[in-house]
Amino acid sequence: MAKKDSDKRYTRDHEWVVLDGDIATVGITDHAQEQLGDLVHIELPELERTVSEAEACAVVESVKAASDVYAPLAGKVVEINETIAEDPSIVNSDPEGEGWFFRLELDDPDSFETLLDQDAYDEFLETL
Amino acid sequence: MTEQSDPTALLTTPLDQWHRRHGARMVPFVGYAMPVQYDLTGDLAARCRGGVLAEHLHTRAQAGLFDVSHMGQAMLTGPNVAAALEKLVPGDIAGLKAGRQRYTLLTNPVGGIIDDLMVACVGNDHLFLVVNAGRKDVDFTHLTANLPESAILTRLDDRALLALQGPEAVTVMARLSPEVAALPFMGVASVSLHGIECLVSRSGYTGEDGFEISVPAAHAETLADALIGHPEVVPAGLGARDSLRLEAGLCLYGNDIDELTSPIEAGLTWVIGKRRKMDWDFPGGLVMRDQLDNGPPRRRVGIRPDGRAPARASTAIMAEDGTEAGIVTSGGFGPSVNGPVAMGYVRRDLAADGTRLTLIVRGKAIPATVVPLPFTPHRYIR
């Protein structure tokens, strides 16, 4: 195991990632939901889809606009959170908990280490 | 105003600081810094949590206050100025009585639309105009160049424009001025609100009852504060304004109408005055008459996509047989409809209500149906 479960990592596209074994749980950050505003529609990737790092694989729509959600790392989609597709507001209310998007079986669990840690993401947010 | 030396600097409305104090998220819109939505706090947060969805629903339930000061206001004066303006628009302007306002169009010789605007008769040979922000310079140049020299166009850049919209707007206005609350739909009156001289019309861009208030810039904050002092009112941004007008089936210039769309195609034939249909003596009149007689090649329609995915502007529309049908010109999520809604142009043979269409959203085919407009019934006072 590369890292313990509680360790959360981030991307510059505002996804968060938690690793359990070689399974990464992915969602969008509180900053991202806050910027997007009220979500009204979410499209999740299909199960078993293989994605490469930074590949657009989900879509979030607010009243105003549609935005892509990217695969933070390469892998295969093994689970999706149908609950948020039925009620997108969960992503606004609990983006980094119940509002997770999908789980990836990572091609390379060590790639998790390349993501931003909390301090690095916070610093990145300061630059925006 | 921002620094004039920097051409990229955004213009600001007289309520710029007011918006920022009330938690607005400011975005660039046709050269202006404008509030797209608010993160409301304090008393206002207790009325409405803020955000496009909540501001939209609050406006339909009670009242929303919109800053639309970016729009162009002007006074047009001169002998027989209404007759002169009729040379440039298809509306009956000469027949507009004092205290009445009309929606009309500046049209071009090919039957296209230079802009849509409000024209109010505010006194003998005095017309008050409100045009789109992004078309101010085009419109005012066009008017000055094509009206007789006796017509004087005065830009009212020193005035703000507030829109109070929603079923409770009249309740609030009645507390300020019983005279204003008695205005009929599309009525206009010059009144004093909190001691401030205002020009008020009973109109709007949401499909709800409401008022648009032209106020001297220096008093805009005072009036805005007074209006949100009433428990029915919260500030609402451009995001809600757009979703409200889309549900109301109202055209957005640049999206749903432009210099290449005719009023006939756009479903705005009603804008052409009855008397004007005798002579068709306005720019593009003969093109419009021909389209009315023979049917326009395409028509603006309401579209309900199946499912939940919004179809945005520029989405391609296909017929069920796979042939090209047209394009979405406005589309998004309708908070009151609680689902996706769109408007667009389709081939004449596909414009009947109930016609099934296919929308191409991110490469996927989404079935959709042609539906009557508006999506949300208008609730104007008649």
What one-letter code names the amino acid at B305?
Answer: P
Per-residue pLDDT averaged across A58-71, rounded? 94
Query: Residue B73 has which token pair?
Result: 């206001």
- CB contact under 8 Å between A61 and B53, yes or no, is no
CA distance B14 to A82: 46
SS3 of B217, please?
Answer: helix
pLDDT of B382: 76
pLDDT digits (tens, 9 = 90+) for B209-236: 999 999 999 999 999 999 999 999 999 9
Q: B308 and A40: CB-CB below 8 Å? A: yes
Residues of B in contact with A65 (CB under 8 A): 312
Helix axes B238-247, B52-61, angle to 10 degrees: 60
Q: Is the pLDDT of residue B15 over 90?
A: yes
What's the pLDDT tens digit per position in B127-179?
Answer: 999 999 999 999 999 999 999 999 999 999 999 999 999 999 999 999 999 99
Q: Cβ contacts (< 8 Å) between A62 and chain B: which residues?
A: 52, 333
Residue A87's contacts (CB-CB under 8 Å, 6 or more residues apart) are none
Residue B17: C-alpha distances to residues B4, B26, B212, B221, B270 (Å): 18, 11, 21, 9, 40
Q: How many CB atoms lie within 10 A of CB B171?
A: 15
Cα–Cα distance for residue pair B80/B121, rounded to 1 Å: 12
Chain A nearest C-alpha distance from B338 (Å): 9
Q: What are phi and psi of B90, to 5 degrees?
A: -85, -5
Average confidence score pLDDT of chain B:
96
Structure tokens at B252: 């957005």
Give, in order, the Cα–Cα distances in Å from B285 to each of A74, B107, B291, B356: 60, 9, 10, 33
pLDDT of residue B231: 97
| Residue predicted with more confidence, B262 or A63 | B262
Alpha carbon of B36: minimum distance to chain A alpha carbons (Å): 9
**Closest residue to A40, CB basis, from B36, B312, B333:** B333
Instruction: Kindly determine whether residue A59 and residue B362, on different chains, have CB atoms separated by under 8 Å.
Output: yes
In chain B, which ranges are continuous DSSP H helix? 16-21, 42-47, 52-61, 81-85, 136-146, 169-176, 178-181, 220-228, 238-247, 276-279, 285-294
The CA distance from B382 to A7, in Å, is: 62
Rounded Cα gap, residues B294 and B203, in angstroms: 33
Mean pLDDT of B27-40: 96
Phi, psi for A29 (deg, rounded to 5):
-75, 165
B289: exposed, middle or buried (C-beta count within 10 Å: 0-12, 13-18, 19+)? middle
Residue of B nearest to A86 (CA): B308
Q: How many Å lie between the alpha carbon of A54 and the closest alpha carbon of chain B?
A: 18
CB contact under 8 A, A37 and B239: yes
Q: Do A38 and B53 touch (CB under 8 A)?
A: yes
pLDDT at A6: 53
